[in-house]
Structure 1
Amino acid sequence: MKEWGPILFQVLLVPITDNTATTSTNDCWKKFEKAPGLSAEKMLFYRELYLQNADTLHWEVSPLFASPEQFQKLPPALIVVAEVDILQSDGRRYAAKMEDYGVEAEVVVMKRLPHAALTLGGVLGEVEGFVQRICGAVRKAFDTRTSQIDSLPASHNTQIDR
C-alpha cells in the first residue's frame, strides 16, 4: 500500500467556513444578500439541502470553529475569495484564524467579481490570472516538497513514487 504522507498545501476557492452565517449575523451576507451567482436565499437553500439537521457549529461543518490544535495541524493555504460574494468573509476570517495559530495563509481577492467567477474563464479575461496564480502556488508547494524529499537519506526515499 502506498504511503501518501501529510497534506502539504491547501487551495480553498470561495470557501464556506461558517455555516452559521445569515444576513442578520454576518455583514458580508447582508451586503451581498442579492449578489449574482450566490444569493443569501440560494446559500440557505443549499445549506439545508446538504446539511439538513447537522450541527452547524461542528468544525467539520463550519471549519472556522475548529480547535486551536486542529488549526495548528493545517498545512499552508492559498484562499481565493470573490469580492462580490456573501462568502468573502468566510475565507478572510479562516485565513486570519490560521495565521493566529501560526499557519501561513494567503488571501487573494478577485476584485469586482462574484462567487462563480472562476467558472467564467472563457467570458472574463481576468480569471486566467487567478488560475495562473493558483497553479503557481501549487507548483511552488510541490517544488518545496520535492526539494525536501531529495534531501532525505536514500532509505527514506523508497516509499515515495514520483
Structure 2
Amino acid sequence: MALHPQLQAILDSSAGMPPMQNVPPAALRASFEAQAVKAPRPEVAHVEDRMIPGPRGEIRVRIYRPDMDQGHAVITYFHGSAFVVCSIDTHDVLCRHLCLQSGAVIVSVDYGLAPEAPFPAGPDDSFAATSWTAAHATSFGGDPAQLMVAGDSAGATMAIVTALRARDAGGPTIAAQLLFYPVTDYPDMLPASYIERGEGCGLTASAMRWGWDLYLTDPADRANPMASPLRAPDLSGLPPAYVITAEYDLLRDEGQAFAGRLTAAGVATTLAHYDDMNHGFLGMAGSLDRADEAMAAVGAWLAARTITQRSPR
C-alpha cells in the first residue's frame, strides 16, 4: 500500500530542510519544540509538571490525569528522540491523546539525551522515574499495581530496558509495555527496512546512525542489551506487550523481530502493523485519522487489561 497521502504531503513540504545530522542538537531540539506547539491539544482533567530525584540530578516529568478520581492505571511514557532530540513538550499532544484513550494517568519523562547525557543516562533516568512513579502513584490518582511503561522510537527502547531491569531487579512490577515503532538493535548489519525505507520516509538511516553514535560513546555498548534489547539473551518474564510498526519506517524490521522474540519467549504480544504509515505517525493523533485509529486500538488493548477502581479524591 502507498504511503498515506497526508503523510506524503508532509514529506514533500519538508524536502528542502537540512538533514537532522547537519543541525546542532540544541537548534534541532528548538525546531522540534517550535513545531510541536502548533498542534491542537485536547483537554485532560489535570496536567502538572514536577521535578523528581534521579541518578544524575532532578528529572522533569509531566503528569496527565484523565479525571480527578483515584485508582487509575498509570503509564510512564518515554518520548521518541533518536537518543538526541525531543522532550515532554514535543510529545505533549501524544500523551494527552494516550491519557484520554487509555483512561490512565500518564507520567511523561524527560530522560537524559546525548550528547550531553550519553548511554546509560537515558536508561538510568527511565528506571528511576518508573520506580518513583510506583512509589508515588497514589498521590496523583494512580494504582501502582497497574503500572505500565510505554514509549515511541528510542523512547520505546527506554520502556523495554526499564521492563528488563525491573524484571531482573525484582521490581517495580510492570503490568504491560506499549512499544510504538521501537528501536531495538544497533544496525551493525542493516535489516531490509533500513535499505527500503532509509530515505524519503521521514526518519533516515543516516539520522538514526548519527543518533546512535552520539548515544553510544563506547562501541562495545552496541551489543549491550540495555542499549540493543533485541540482543538480550532472555526475554521471558516480561510483561504483555503491544507493539506498533509502520511499513514506511526503517525501524519496521527490528520492531517486528522484537515482537517475534517476545512471543517465542512466552510473552503475550500483540503486533499491530500499519502498512500506509511512517515513523512517528502517532504524533499526529488528532490530525490524522489513521493515528486516531491506532490510538483507539491501544486504548482498547489497555482497557482489556486494566481495572479502574474509581473513588473520589
User: Taking structure 2 as the reference length, what is the TM-score of the superposition?
Assistant: 0.42
8 Å contact kept, 1:35–1:114: no
2:174 maps to a residue whose letter is I
Answer yes or no: is 1:31 the counterpart of 2:196. yes
Hey, what does 1:139 align to over in structure 2?
Answer: 303
CA distance in 1, matches of 2:176, 2:306: 8
- 1:46 and 1:102 map into 2 onto residues whose CA distance is 32
Match of 2:102 in 1: none
Using the alignment, how far apart are the partners of 1:2 and 1:15 within structure 2? 27
The structure 2 residue matched to 1:7, chosen from 174, 180, 183, is: 174
Name structure 2 gaps, 5 residues minimum: 1-133, 137-143, 146-172
- By how many angstroms is 1:135 displaced? 1.3
2:279 to 115, 128, 142: 115
Equivalent residue of 1:17, what SS? coil
CA contact (8 A) 2:191 2:254 kept: no
Comparing 88-97 with 24-33, greater Cα deviation is found at: 24-33
- Tell me, yes or no, if structure 1 residue 57 matches structure 2 residue 223: yes
1:77 aligns with 2:77: no
Q: C-alpha offsets along residues 16-51 of structure 1, whole Å, 9 cap, x if unaligned?
A: 0112x15x5311111111042201011111111222
Q: Distance in 2 between matches of 1:92 and 1:81?
A: 7
> Number of paired residues?
142
Percent identity, please: 25
Specify the alignment match of 2:250 in structure 1: 86
User: TM-score, normalised to structure 1's length?
Assistant: 0.79
- Using CA pairs under 8 Å that are at least 6 residues apart, name the structure with larger relative contact order, 1 or 2: 1
Query: Which amino acid in structure 2 is aligned with residue 36 of structure 1?
Result: C
Segments of 5+ residues of structure 1 without an aligned counterpart are: 148-162
Q: In structure 2, what is the equivalent of residue 96 of structure 1? A: 260
Cross-structure match for 1:155: none
Match of 2:289 in 1: 125
Structure 2 SS opposite 1:82 = strand
- Cα pair 1:35 1:86 within 8 Å, conserved: no
- After TM superposition, give the deviation of residue 89 of structure 1 in Å: 0.8
Match of 1:16 in 2: 183
Q: How big is each residue's C-alpha offset from its partner over 1:77-111, in whole Å with a ceiling of 9 and x where there is no partner?
A: 00001110010011110011011111111110122
Secondary structure class of the residue paired with 1:126: helix
Q: How has the CA–CA distance of structure 1 residues 43 and 2 changed in structure 2, closer, same or farther, with 3 Å as cutoff? A: closer
Whichever structure has more strand as a proportion of its residues is 2
Q: 1:79 is paired with a residue of what secondary structure?
A: strand
1-side partners of 2:246 and 2:194: how far apart?
13
Shift of residue 128, structure 1, vs aligned partner: 0.4
CA contact 2:242–2:270 (8 Å) conserved in 1: yes
d(CA) in 1 for partners of 2:233, 2:267: 13
Give the CA RMSD over aligned residues: 2.3
CA shift at 1:2, angstroms? 4.3
Deviation at 1:118, TM superposition (A): 0.8
AA aligned to 1:98 is: L
Distance 1:87 1:27 in 2: 10
Q: 1:140 to 1:48 in 2, by over 3 A?
A: same
Does the aligned pair in 1 maintain the 2:183–2:251 contact within 8 Å?
A: yes
